[in-house]
Amino acid sequence: MSLFDFFKKKEISVVGIDIGASSIKVVQLKKHKGVAVLETYGELSLGPYFGAEIGQATNLPASKIAEALNDLLIEANVTAKKAGVSIPFSSSLISLILMPPLNPKNLSSMIPIEARKYIPVPISEVTLDWFVIPDEDFSFKGDYDSDGQISKDSVKKKEDDKKMKVLLVAIHNDILNKYNEIINGTDLAIGFFEIEIFSAIRAVVEQSITPTMVIDMGARDTKLYIVEFGIIKSSHVINSGAQNITQTLSKSLSITIPKAEEFKRKAGVIESFGDNKIIDSRDVIIPALERIFTEANRVMTQYQQKNNKNIGNVILTGGGAIMKGILSVAEKYFETNIMLSNPFSKTKSPAFLEEILKEVGPGFAVAVGLALRRLQEID
């Protein structure tokens, strides 16, 4: 062993694990010279573990999810043990609450009391987390001292009058117990569980002075997040996702679910497919997408009118966003810049993988976001 080996920092790999309704996705990263390097990634459908078709949403017990996760870790050649795991947005409750100005110690005591107003179950049945949202409009107007500085009394009065904005997050203990059971069925070392909304935003939203809307198209539903200065200001769920499109295609074209899923991904709204000469597959997919984008546009317009701010970017992400031609449909519904997410752009990977990663990237946003956070925590 060289003497210089003692001064070399060992590169540690981490893995982000996104357990979705229809599949599990993993992304393994390591940090090399300050850059997040992609080592491996993979996806495994949960349908077959449920006696269902590939692409269908499932409701598996913890033991079956652990089995699928172990299979994926082997198939994707994941070697990392340090992991971060996502919790579905639907399994959480997120509220923006107002609190009087308090120091951290007092805030910790008051949050559980205040949370009772927003959480429809006993506080003992949930795990709480929260953080104070910085006020970008924070400014003082008051008396000045002899040096032209704002006086301490004026600052104190302004602070006392001002309410703190706190983002409150609650997860039912039964959900956390289930996810702990899943991980106990592996040999992973979990650093944290994180609600998927925060992981996705970390991976796809860049710093911007204008608000950004993220449209996260999952199998079972579509989530809408509006983000300002890296902070979630609004969220909304549309009860329609990629699975609904697959099922409608299957019925309309009289084809199997696996075939409909394959056609949807490969052809999307770019070309027609199927043997049915009467029904064009695009006539099935486009109306389903239009329902999602019409609702997203309504939410965006409502937010802009209420806050007197324009949303500068719309980002499509999630497994449903990898459909070919989806961007051209979405552009008709938003009078702003719209783009597909590219979470792997925040990692370094071989040049020959660039196009593939760009194509599948929207589906791996949560897993990338989890791995990036886990990487930061071990620095």
Predicted TM-score (pTM) of this structure:
0.85
> pLDDT at position 120, please?
87
- In a domain, residue 145? The reply is yes
* Burial class of 351 by CB neighbour count within 10 A (0 to 12, 13 to 18, 19+): exposed
The reported pLDDT for the residue numbered 374 is 95
Q: Which domain range does residue 147 map to?
A: 93-171
Mean local confidence (pLDDT), 70-87 = 96
| H-helix or E-strand spanning residue 162 | none
In a domain, 60, yes or no: no
The proportion of the chain whose per-residue pLDDT surpasses 90, expressed as a percent, equals 53
The tally of domains found in the chain comes to 1
**Domain assignment present for 159:** yes
The CATH number given to whatever domain includes residue 135 is 3.30.1490.300
- With vertex at residue 375, the alpha carbon angle to CA 373 and CA 377, rounded to the nearest 5 degrees, is 70
Tokens of 23: 């599949």
What is the per-residue pLDDT for 70?
A: 97
The verdict on residue 129 lying in a domain is yes
With respect to residue 161, please indicate whether it lies within any of the assigned structural domains.
Answer: yes
User: Which pLDDT score is estimated for 142?
Assistant: 40
Identify the pLDDT of residue 189: 93
Reported as a single tens digit per residue, the pLDDT across 263-306 is 887 778 776 665 555 566 778 888 889 999 999 999 999 999 99
Cβ proximity of 36 and 378 under 8 Å: no
Q: What pLDDT is recorded for position 270? A: 74
CA–CA separation, 352 and 355 (whole Å): 7
Q: What distances in angstroms separate CA 284 from CA 30, 239, 276, 322, one per listed residue?
A: 42, 18, 12, 17
Rounded mean pLDDT, 305-314: 93
237 band by pLDDT with thresholds 50, 70 and 90? very high
Low-confidence winner among 19-28, 257-266, 283-292 (lowest mean pLDDT): 257-266
Whose structure tokens read 């910085």? 134
Specify the pLDDT at position 231.
Answer: 84
The tokens 């809408």 sit on which residue? 224
Cα dihedral sign for 71, 76, 80, 83?
Answer: negative
Both tokens assigned to 251:
């019925």
* Residue 352 is assigned to a structural domain of this protein: no
**What mean pLDDT do residues 239-245 have?**
89
pLDDT, residue 138, reads 38
Assess if residue 147 is contained within a domain: yes
Is residue 117 in some structural domain?
yes
The stretch 92-120 carries a mean pLDDT of 87
Residue 156 confidence (pLDDT) above 90: no
Instruction: Using alpha carbons, list the distances in angstroms from residue 62 to 14, 179, 367.
Output: 22, 7, 19
